[in-house]
Amino acid sequence: MSDDSSAPSNLVTVTGVTKSFDGGRVLALDNVDFTVQSGELVALTGPSGCGKSTLLNMLAALEGPTSGRVQVLGYDSDRPRDVNRFRREDIGLVFQLHNLLPHLTAEQNVAIALMGAGMGRTEQRTRARELLHQVQLDGREHRKPPQLSGGERQRIAIARALANRPALLLADEPTGSLDSESVARTLELFRSLRAETGLTIVMVTHDPLVAATADRLVTMHDGGIATGADAPRVALHEHRT
Q: Helix, strand or coil for residue 171? A: strand
Residue 2: phi and psi, rounded to 5, are -75, 150
Whole-angstrom distance, CA of residue 40 vs CA of residue 214: 8
Reported confidence tier of residue 69, pLDDT bands at 50, 70, 90: very high
For the chain, the C-alpha Rg in angstroms (whole number) is 18
DSSP code, position 87: I
**Taking residues 44-52, what's their average pLDDT?**
88
- For residue range 171-201, what is the model confidence (pLDDT) as tens digits? 998 888 778 888 888 888 888 888 888 899 9
Whole-angstrom distance, CA of residue 92 vs CA of residue 164: 8
- For residue range 89-143, what is the model confidence (pLDDT) as tens digits? 889 998 877 789 999 999 999 998 888 666 788 888 999 999 999 888 888 999 9
Q: Is the pLDDT of residue 65 over 50?
A: yes
Is the separation of the CB atoms in 186 and 136 below 8 Å?
A: no
Domains and CATH numbers, the chain: 10-238 (3.40.50.300)
**Burial (CB count within 10 angstroms: exposed 0-12, middle 13-18, buried 19+), residue 155:** buried
Q: Residue 44 pairs with which residues in a beta bridge?
A: 204, 218
Whole-angstrom distance, CA of residue 238 vs CA of residue 215: 6
Whole-angstrom distance, CA of residue 175 vs CA of residue 170: 13
